[in-house]
Amino acid sequence: MRTFATISDTPKGSCSDTGCDPGIVLPERKLNEECGVFGIAGHGAMAADVTRLALVTMQHRGPESAGIVTTDGIGGMYHHRGMGLVEKAVKPQHLAPLRAGSNAVGHVRYSTTGSSSLANAQPLVFSFARGNLALAHNGNLTNAATIRAELEATGAIFQTTSDTEVVAHLVARSPEPDMTDAIRGALTDVEGGFALVLLADDRLVACRDRHGLRPLVLGRMPDGAWCVASESCALDVIGATFERDVEPGELLVLEPDGSLVLSRFAEAAEQRALCTFEHIYFARPDSDVDGHNVHTVRKRFGRLLAEVAPVDADVVVGVPDSSVSAATGYSEASGIPNEMGLVKNRYIGRTFLEPSPELRTNGVRMKLNAVRGVVGGQRVVLIDDSLVRGTTSMRIVRMLREAGAAEVHVRIACPPVKHPCFFGIDMSTYDELAAAHSTVEELREHIGADSLAFLDEPVMMRAFDEVGDVPARGHCNACFTGKYPVEVELTASKLGLERGLVGVS
């Protein structure tokens, strides 16, 4: 059995490969996000710049690496990738050569499979008989290990541990003469949840898995250039008009001349299955995902929570930043005042070096501090967006009590997470899910709250029906219910996807 080193061996705080970065400061996230993609066709010398802007806007979807590839439509492909935030990974000066291309694809990454190294940074770029191909991918291919094994058996070599690389091989081996057909064929072989943007020499192809697990929207620039993005907020910021969500199973060909060719690579699944965590946690509050504004849904989660899990309390406190909308909703529905009982140090990030062991408990407070003047002597309703491992909740409850809170009632704006996700979210084994093995009462005791309540799945789904212009069109709630929209090769995916090479280049 092959084993691999993990890159966590890399000395923390040392100069990383892509530059000495003594501590990028960014909000810490509870769950690892699953990447953001963007593509634009026929936008002249501004294609690379617009792509960078879009990636900056979708930075929350992937702070680990970023990359942009452009093509001039006649065989020249230009790319730049780097580790870290877009601001650092793709600097303005890096764009100079990329401006030679008017079609572009971009990617921000938070690894879910494959190790965290520059080699795995996307867009991946390949050269084969048809020319060049760049791929940007959000999601997970659940049968990637099986396909990879089949490809290797016939001589394929792999350079990354990314599941995305199998798509390139499938395209390269396709007998279809036309590139779009070759891509379509490759896509019929893969399963899972994905939004994928492929940049060939002469066209840009975008698609969304047939369940619609991962989001993708279509937009249009004032000059007529079509573009796609994981989130609508990127369209806002680049000045594009939101056209519509890409449909599950749909295949869009964005051509440099401004034409858009619509087709399908698969029938949409009977039951649409948009990942609910997009609204719960991942997407930016200003994005609309499949017809529902994220902030509005979150606030409604809070209102519903106040309805189904009321509590006699003095103050509502939301965990910043993700639970601010839900806390506002809870407060407005319950009439209990919404207070800033927890203050986040906005200057501390993921890579902040922990202080020496003696100060470690203070280290937690360094990131999040409870406000004695607000919670002292008060009965607190603590609103959090979700509860996955339980550790953070436990710490915050303790912190509130140390700041003098008389009672702490925890209200979680979604159901308990009881099942792993195989479609791109970093909660992939039962072991790490607190609610998989515990009753709500056990969880309450574990985190030390006076009371604990969740939103039931049916109640949660009401939020979608109650806000926005459209009712909920089908969501994947497998992490709450265990009902997966796709049959998952459990063993293979868990063992096999980790195969490959590990390194830090």
Instruction: Report the catalytic residues.
Output: 35
- Binding of residue 348 to its own copies (CB under 8 A): yes
Per-residue x/- mask for its own copies, residues 171 to 200, rule CB under 8 A? Answer: -xx---------------------------
Q: Which of residues 256-275 bind its own copies (CB under 8 A)?
A: none
- As measured in angstroms, the least distance from the Cβ of 171 to its own copies is 8
Options 41, 47, 168, 461; binder of its own copies; rule CB under 8 A: 168
Q: Which stretch binds its own copies (CB under 8 A): 234-242, 384-392, 406-414, 456-464?
A: 234-242
Among 52, 109, 300, 401, binds its own copies (CB under 8 A): 52
Nearer to its own copies, 129 or 487 (CB): 129
The count of chain residues that interact with its own copies, using the rule CB under 8 A, is: 137
Q: Minimal distance in Å, beta carbon 433 to its own copies?
A: 27
Contact flag: residue 501 with its own copies (CB under 8 A): yes
Token code pair at residue 101? 């291309």
Say whether residue 241 binds its own copies (CB under 8 A).
no
Of the candidate residues 41, 47, 53, 382, the single one contacting its own copies (CB under 8 A): 53
Task: Write the CA distances from 110 to 49, 51, 59, integer angstroms.
Answer: 22, 18, 10
97 binds its own copies (CB under 8 A): yes
CA angle 40, 41, 46 (to 5 degrees): 70
Please identify, among the stretches 15-23, 137-145, 188-196, 481-489, the one whose residues bind its own copies according to the rule CB under 8 A. Answer: 15-23
Asked if 22 interacts with its own copies (CB under 8 A), we say yes
Q: Which of 239, 261, 270, 482 binds its own copies (CB under 8 A)?
A: 239
Residue 35 and residue 107: Cα distance in Å, rounded? 7
Nearer to its own copies, 22 or 471 (CB): 22
The CA-CA-CA angle for residues 62, 419, 471, to 5°, reads 75
Residues 120-149 that bind its own copies (CB under 8 A): 121, 124-129, 131-133, 149
**Residue 468 near its own copies by CB under 8 A:** yes
Q: Does residue 24 touch its own copies according to CB under 8 A?
A: yes
Identify the burial level of 353 via C-beta atoms within 10 angstroms of its C-beta, where 0-12 means exposed, 13-18 middle and 19 or more buried: exposed
- Cβ atoms of 90 and 71 closer than 8 Å: no
Binding to its own copies, residues 65-94 (CB under 8 A): 67, 69, 72, 74-82, 85-88, 91-94
Which residues, 6 or more positions from 246, have their beta carbon under 8 angstroms from its beta carbon? 195, 206, 207, 208, 216, 217, 218, 228, 252
Angle at 350 between CA 347 and CA 351, to 5 degrees: 95
Residue type, 72: D
Window 275 to 294, contacts with its own copies (CB under 8 A): 284-286, 288, 293
Indicate the residue type of 92: P
Cβ–Cβ < 8 Å for 307, 337? no
The site string for its own copies over 351-390 (x = CB under 8 A, - otherwise) reads -xx-xx-xx-xxx-xx--xxxxxx----------------
Give the x/- contact pattern for its own copies in 318-337, rule: CB under 8 A. Answer: ---x--xx--x--xx----x
What CA–CA distance (Å, rounded) separates 18 from 118? 8
One-letter-per-residue 3-state SS of 427-471: CCCHHHCHHHCCCHHHHHHHHCCCEEEECCHHHHHHHHHHCCCCC
Please pick, from the candidates 223, 263, 346, 437, the single residue that binds its own copies as defined by CB under 8 A: 346
Closer to its own copies by Cβ: residue 418 or 499: 499
Residues 6+ apart with CB under 8 A from 43: 50, 102, 103, 104, 221, 223, 225, 227
Q: Are strands 204-208 and 192-200 parallel, antiparallel or unpaired?
A: antiparallel
Integer Cα distance of 303 and 299 in angstroms: 6
**Among 362, 478, 487, residue whose Cα is nearest residue 370:** 362
Min. distance of Cβ 479 from its own copies in angstroms? 25
Among 141, 186, 309, 502, binds its own copies (CB under 8 A): 502
487 binds its own copies (CB under 8 A): no
3-state secondary structure of 422: coil
Q: Which two tokens stand for residue 322?
A: 């993700």
